[in-house]
């Protein structure tokens, strides 16, 4: 299997570039994590659940949390709203521009894999990683425990999407960087400071 993975890394259109060694590692790790996920008992269902359906569940829970905060007249409501705004700017603004510029094909296209989640747009940076890491960073300014929890959630979703064959590790790292930096700028411009309390 290892020989097959290494052979497939040479198929990447990014293979012959200055950072060849790093990109080779990136492609190889994407393939390895994909095959590990496929070998795990019940792995396909778990990967799809975490990498795709969990995002819908989190959206519903987030809406409930926000309604609860509004109902209780929590002074941190605006902090939560701006955390979401920062995540949306990072995901649907900066990420879309970068994906158009970089135009990196997804691993399943380059490595001829059978994807567990079908997406046909470009992969770098990861939109999911961008959004959830941005949201986690924004929530750190509102509630540190909740922010840390979302960092864990963002990491789990990101790894699942690599295992699903739709992202490379560098897609995730790039998305996380874009999300964290964008959120930090948005929250700082609003003059919000971290509040170490639970919602």
Q: Is residue 195 part of a domain?
A: no
Contact between 49 and 149 under an 8 Å Cβ cutoff? The reply is no
Most confident range (mean pLDDT) of 12-21, 56-65, 87-96 is: 87-96
The string of pLDDT tens digits covering residues 134-179 is 999 988 888 888 889 999 999 999 999 999 889 999 999 999 999 9
| Per-residue pLDDT, 48 | 84
- Look up the pTM and report it: 0.81
Q: Is residue 194 part of a domain?
A: no
Whether 199 shows a pLDDT value over 80: the answer reads no
Whether 89 shows a pLDDT value over 70: the answer reads yes
| Per-residue pLDDT, 177 | 95
Q: Is the dihedral of CA 116, 117, 118, 121 positive or negative?
A: negative
Tell which wins on pLDDT, 84 or 133: 133
Domain count, the chain: 1
The string of pLDDT tens digits covering residues 17-55 is 456 777 788 888 888 888 888 888 887 788 888 888 888
| Per-residue pLDDT, 18 | 59
Residue 184: φ, ψ to 5° = -60, -40
Whether 97 shows a pLDDT value over 50: the answer reads yes
Whether 193 shows a pLDDT value over 70: the answer reads no
133's CB contacts (< 8 A; 6+ apart) are 151, 154, 175, 176, 179, 180, 183
| Per-residue pLDDT, 2 | 39
Q: Is residue 199 part of a domain?
A: no
Q: Is residue 149 part of a domain?
A: yes
Q: Is residue 197 part of a domain?
A: no
Whether 12 shows a pLDDT value over 60: the answer reads no
For residue 183, give the CATH number of its domain.
Answer: 1.20.144
**Across the chain, where does the E strand assignment appear?**
none
Distance of alpha carbon 68 from alpha carbon 60, whole angstroms:
12
Q: Is residue 27 part of a domain?
A: yes
* Domain residue limits at 52: 2-189
* Mean local confidence (pLDDT), 105-125: 87
Tell which wins on pLDDT, 3 or 170: 170
* Mean local confidence (pLDDT), 114-127: 87
Query: Over the chain, what is the mean pLDDT?
Result: 81
């Amino acid at each position: 299997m290892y020989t097959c993975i290494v052979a497939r890394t040479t198929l990447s259109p990014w293979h012959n570039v200055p950072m060849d060694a790093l990109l080779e590692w990136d492609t190889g790790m994407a393939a390895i994590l994909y095959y590990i996920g496929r070998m795990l008992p019940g792995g396909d269902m778990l990967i799809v659940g975490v990498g795709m359906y969990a995002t819908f569940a989190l959206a519903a829970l987030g809406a409930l949390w926000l309604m609860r905060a509004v109902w209780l007249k929590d002074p941190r409501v605006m902090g939560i709203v701006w955390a979401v705004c920062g995540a949306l700017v990072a995901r649907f603004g900066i990420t879309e521009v970068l994906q158009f510029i970089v135009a990196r094909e997804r691993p399943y296209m380059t490595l001829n894999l059978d994807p567990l989640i079908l997406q046909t747009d470009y992969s770098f940076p990861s939109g999911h990683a961008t959004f959830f890491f941005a949201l986690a960073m924004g929530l750190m300014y509102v509630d540190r425990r909740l922010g840390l929890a979302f960092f864990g959630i963002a990491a789990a979703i990101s790894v699942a999407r690599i295992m699903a064959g739709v992202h490379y590790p560098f897609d995730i790292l790039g998305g996380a960087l874009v999300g964290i930096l964008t959120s930090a700028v948005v929250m700082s411009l609003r003059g919000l400071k971290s509040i170490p309390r639970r919602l």
